[in-house]
Every structure is written in C-alpha cells, then in structure tokens.
C-alpha cells in the first residue's frame, strides 16, 4: 500500500471507520478486517490509503496502523503559513461499553482535537458503521487483564468506562493500578450506585437532603413499614437492576407486589436481596451531572430524562425514553443549591470515608413541589443514558483533555464550553420494552433519517447486522434520534421529522419528549 501523502512536519492521525477496508486479519480484533477511511491532504485533496506498519501488536497480530488520523487538520490550519497547530498532548482513547451512551461519548471524543483515535469495546454495529470509533467486539471487558493488555499494545492513554457494572466490579481499580488513566470511580466509590443503602447512609451522615427511607431484608417487616407510611410509596432494589429496580407504588397492593418480586421471588437476583422503602416525593425530576476529580467538582449542563414508557408519563419505568438539555427547571440559582447541598458534600464525604470519587456523578433529583428545593433521589456513577446523548451534542470543549484533567486531579483548571442551542433525543425501542421484546427485526432508512438535517445525529444503542447487511434490533432501547435547534420546538421538529423516515414497524417511541420544556416556554411567552 502507498504511504499517505501528508506533510513530513505534520502529525496527523488515523480515523478508524467503516468506509474502506484493508483485509489484514487481526485475531480477536474486528474478527477479520481493519477499516480505514480515505485520507486527505492538507489542502483537502484525496491521497492514497494509509500504510500498515509493524510497530505494535493487537492480540498477537503483527499488523498495526502506523499513522495518525487527519480529521482535525482543517480546524487548526493557520491562514498565513499552512502549518498545523496541534495540541502538545495527544491521546488514544478506549471507551468501555456498547450502548447509546458509549456511542455519544465516542462521537464527542472523535471530535476532540487532541484525540488521535477512539476504540470502543465491545461497541456495536452502528458505532462501527458510523466511523465514530473502531469497535472491538471480542474484547472481554469483564477481564481486566485483557483490557490492560489491549491498552498497552495500542498505546491507549485514557480509558472511559461507560456502564456501571464494570465500575462496581472494579475495572477502574485494576486499570489505575496498572498506570492507565481511567475516567470512572473505583469499586469502593461506585457503591454510590451499586448500593442504594450505602448512598442513603452517606446522605444521613453528611446531611445531604434525600427522601425519608428504611432498608429491609425481611418482606413482612417491609410490608408493615409500607402499611405504616401508606401509599404512594417507592420500593427500590438495593443493587444494580439495569434501571428497572424501582417501583413507584400508587397503592399498597402495588408496593406489596414489588416487595414480593424482589425479596421472595428474587427477580433481580442479589441486587434485590435488600430493598429500600422510600417516601414518595411530589415534584419535577431533573438530572444533574458533575465531573469529579476526587476533590473538585465541575457541573455540566442540565438535562431532563423521561423514564416512563408511555406518552403522558404513564406505564412502567424504563432506562429512559428521551431527554433534552438544558432543563429549564434547573436555573442558575438551583444549580448553586445542588452543588452546595448535594454534590460538594458528597465529594467531601467520599474523600473523608477513604474512597475518593473520580468520574461523573449523576444525581437524580426531585425538585419538590412544596418547597422548590432539590432532594437527591439516587446517584449514578456514570453518564446517564439518554442524557449523555444530548450533553455530548452540545459540548464544544475537548472532551479527551477534560476527562484527563479529572483523572489527574486538575479539574480546577478546566472550564467548559457549550453550544447555546437546545438538544433533544428520542429513543426508539423494541415493541414490548421494558418487558419481553423480539430481537432481530429489520430497521431501514437509518442513514436517510440522519440526512433529514445537518443538526440530526442518530446514536446506536442496540443494533446489529443480519446476514444481508441490514441493521436489526438487538436490544430493548435501540436508537437515540438526536437533534439540536435554537429552541425546544425546533429541536423536537427535527427529531420527529427524522423519526418519520426510519422504517421499523416493530419499533416504537414516545411522541411527547420535551413536553415540560415546551410548557416552560409557553409560560415564559405569556
């Protein structure tokens, strides 16, 4: 293969994608192909494919990409001499996970000027096809040694752990011990999400406002407490339950059924062997995110999720059916209250407990109707899904450098830039979700839907390819159709126009995502 025709004095980087293919077998790496896009010269012309050189190894292969991706050259060219101003530090990033959140993170990292390449393990077919990352489908992310070996072989300088399960299992502990910068908390700190009882006890100790609660392992005791408190009331599995371990019981019978499901039937396994019974808080929910480096917390823009499966916020809770950012309910005044009363006491409390938190704190809040004050419903120790999609659409800062600063305890030096536009995401899910659903149904016109507007981006949460090369559904939540607009009306219009183009009879979505923001806009207009 011919060498890519770049200036000898210019460092350029490889963009991994699915546009053109070099048929060099990499055992355990994309099964049988390494994919390269066509490269460009400094003046925008096309040049030869990138040469593959023998410098490093991936899973025992002697094939390595020996060039850096050239996608950011046009963003930093000087108008006077044509020289490229590259950041002093460049980094290759590995994103752990394979859902819509991870696709959004790959998308933001791929746009980061200092990021040389983005890998995603295991990723999914849509992430690979989009060109936002090179997916490593065969990597066992539950095996820390496999992850560490890959990082060393491919010069990975930052690992971003997307899902909560690997964090609770201690993946970040092992990576940090191996000297690999990792954005994500230790297993000890991840207990903020891994155990709701742990989180509640921390709130008690450090005076963090949250709902009144008690913890139970005995179903009879739990039911007696419910009788004493009366409905509505909230029943939660203590451990990780993929976003499905929370029941907002409007009647005593619903609460009793939830207790039986968790403590007697064991529907959530060990995650439901202990339950938290919580008072029902009336108000409006909001998602609040802050990057944390162990000592310092840096708030992100606000977002609001839609948890219920049906229009009008009816039906069972899901992992999230849509979101928008910013959330009008989170004013600057409220943001300061959340930081002062919830986020910073948590960061300081975790440090005092000997388990400093490094990563993203995702606080699920209830803005109480009576007081207007925020209370902590729960913590997640990773970016929310689908809130991450709208946040990454609006982020204009170099995400790779921001996350590295968090890993190094240097968030105090960081400020974030955000698009002033509003972003909305609507989730397309398999019919039947969050209950049983059918896999393998064909989805058509995804590319066409993404072409409806330059402001539209479709994130893949659960897609695969069938033998004919069609996208098929491989999960409950499958696509996150996302768009930006000058206001909520414009962003929603673009999203729903794109949704109209997607041809998937077995899929469904909510038609009212963003209704609260619309309500605020109408109130403000009058």
Whether residue 74 has pLDDT greater than 60? no
For the chain, the C-alpha Rg in angstroms (whole number) is 23
Looking at the structure, do residues 429 and 486 belong to the same domain, yes or no? yes
Note the pLDDT of residue 266.
85
CATH number assigned to the domain comprising residue 254? 3.30.1490.20
Residues 176 and 230 in one domain: no
Q: What phi, psi does 59 have (nearest 5°)?
A: 50, 45
Whether residue 146 sits in one domain with residue 220: no
- Which residue range forms the structural domain that includes residue 431? 422-524
- Here the tokens at position 44 are 């925008």
pLDDT of residue 287: 86
Task: Enumerate the β-bridge partners of residue 239.
Answer: none
**Is residue 417 within 8 Å of 396, Cβ to Cβ?**
yes
pLDDT at 436: 95
Specify the number of domains making up the chain.
Answer: 3
Mark which of 255, 280, 305 sits at the end of a domain.
Answer: 280
Is residue 192 situated within a structural domain? no
Q: What integer pLDDT is reported at residue 523 of this predicted model? A: 58
Where residue 128 sits, what CATH number does that domain have? 3.40.50.20
Same domain, 236 and 170: no
Most confident of 54-58, 262-266, 382-386: 382-386
Tell me: do 517 and 436 sit in the same domain. yes
Q: Please check the confidence at residue 208 and state whether its pLDDT lies above 90.
A: yes
Does residue 181 belong to any structural domain of this protein?
yes
Structural element, H or E, at residue 100: helix 100-110
Helices 399-407, 100-110: inter-axial angle, 10-degree rounding? 100
Cα separation, 410 vs 404, in Å, equals 8
Q: What is the DSSP string of 1-21?
A: -PPP---TT---EEPP-SSEE
**Is the confidence at residue 281, as pLDDT, over 80?**
yes
The answer to whether residue 335 scores a pLDDT higher than 80 is yes
Summarised one tens digit per residue, pLDDT across range 420-464 is: 999 999 999 999 999 999 999 999 999 999 999 999 999 999 999
Q: Distance between CA atoms of 381 and 190, rounded to whole angstroms?
A: 6
pLDDT tens figures, 150-198: 999 999 999 999 999 999 999 999 999 999 999 999 999 999 998 999 9
Residue 106 falls within a domain, yes or no?
A: yes
**Domain for residue 118, yes or no?**
yes
**Cα distance between residue 235 and residue 211, in whole Å:** 12
Is 499 part of a structural domain of the chain?
Answer: yes
The verdict on residue 8 lying in a domain is no
467 part of a folded domain: yes
169 and 243 housed in the same domain: no
- CA–CA distance, 256 with 260 (Å, rounded to integer): 6
Residues 168 and 254 in one domain: no
Q: Are residues 111 and 174 located together in one domain of the fold? A: yes
Provide the CATH number for the domain around residue 505.
3.90.600.10
The percentage of residues in the chain with a pLDDT greater than 70, rounded to a whole number, is 81
- Residue 522, pLDDT score: 57
Residues in the chain: 526
Residue 453 lies in a domain: yes
| Contact assessment for residue 127 and residue 460, using Cβ atoms and an 8 Å cutoff | yes
What is residue 267's predicted lDDT score, i.e. its pLDDT?
80
pLDDT tens digits for 225-260?
999 999 999 999 988 876 668 889 999 999 999 999
Domain endpoint, select from 248, 280, 312: 280
Please report the pLDDT score of residue 49 as a whole number: 28
One domain, residues 508 and 456: yes
Examine the pLDDT at 32 and tell me if it is beyond 50. no
The region of weakest confidence among 3-7, 123-127, 149-153 is: 3-7
């Amino acid at each position: 293969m011919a060498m890519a025709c770049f200036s000898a004095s210019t460092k350029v980087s490889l963009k991994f994608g699915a546009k053109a293919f070099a048929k060099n077998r990499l055992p355990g790496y994309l099964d049988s192909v390494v994919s390269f896009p066509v490269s460009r010269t400094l003046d925008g012309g096309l040049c030869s494919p990138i040469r593959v050189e023998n410098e490093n190894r991936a899973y025992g292969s002697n094939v390595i990409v020996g060039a850096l991706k050239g996608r950011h050259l046009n963003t930093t060219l000087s108008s006077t001499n044509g020289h490229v101003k590259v950041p002093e530090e460049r980094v290759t990033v590995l994103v752990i996970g394979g859902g819509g959140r991870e696709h959004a993170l790959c998308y933001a990292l791929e746009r980061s000027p200092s990021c040389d390449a983005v890998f995603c393990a295991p990723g999914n077919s849509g992430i690979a096809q989009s060109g936002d990352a090179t997916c490593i489908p065969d990597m066992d992310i539950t095996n820390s040694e496999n992850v560490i070996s890959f990082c060393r072989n491919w010069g990975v300088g930052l690992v971003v752990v997307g899902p909560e399960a690997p964090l609770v299992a201690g993946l970040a502990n092992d990576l940090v011990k191996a000297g690999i910068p990792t954005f994500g908390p230790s297993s000890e700190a991840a207990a903020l999400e891994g155990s709701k009882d742990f989180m509640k006890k921390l709130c008690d100790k450090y005076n963090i406002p949250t709902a009144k609660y008690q913890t139970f392992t005995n179903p009879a005791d739990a039911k007696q407490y419910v009788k004493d408190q009366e409905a509505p009331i909230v029943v939660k599995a203590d451990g990780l339950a993929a976003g499905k371990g929370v029941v907002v019981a409007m009647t005593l019978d619903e609460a009793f059924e939830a207790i039986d499901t968790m403590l007697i039937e064991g529907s959530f396994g060990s995650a439901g062997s202990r339950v938290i019974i919580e008072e029902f808080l009336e108000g409006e929910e909001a998602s609040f995110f802050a990057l944390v480096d162990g000592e310092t917390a840096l708030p992100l823009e606000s977002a609001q999720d839609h948890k219920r499966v049906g229009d009008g916020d009816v039906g069972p809770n899901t992992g999230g059916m849509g979101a928008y950012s910013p959330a009008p309910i989170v004013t600057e005044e409220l943001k300061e209250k959340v930081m002062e009363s919830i986020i910073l006491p948590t960061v300081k409390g975790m440090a005092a407990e000997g388990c400093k938190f490094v990563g993203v704190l995702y606080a699920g809040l209830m803005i109480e109707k009576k007081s207007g004050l925020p209370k902590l419903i729960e913590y997640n120790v990773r970016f929310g899904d689908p809130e991450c999609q709208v946040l990454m659409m609006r982020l204009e800062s170099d995400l790779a450098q921001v996350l590295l600063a968090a890993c190094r305890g240097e968030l105090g030096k960081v400020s974030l830039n955000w698009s002033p536009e509003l972003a909305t995401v609507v989730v397309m899910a398999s019919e039947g979700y969050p209950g049983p659903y059918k896999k393998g149904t064909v989805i058509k016109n995804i590319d066409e839907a993404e072409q409806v507007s330059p402001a539209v981006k479709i994130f893949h949460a659960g897609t695969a390819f069938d033998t004919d090369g069609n996208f098929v559904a491989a999960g409950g939540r499958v696509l996150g159709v996302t768009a930006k607009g000058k206001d909520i009306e414009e962003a929603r219009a673009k999203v729903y126009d794109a949704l109209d183009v997607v041809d998937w009879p077995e899929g469904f979505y909510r038609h009212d995502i963003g209704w609260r923001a619309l309500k605020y806009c109408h109130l403000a207009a009058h």
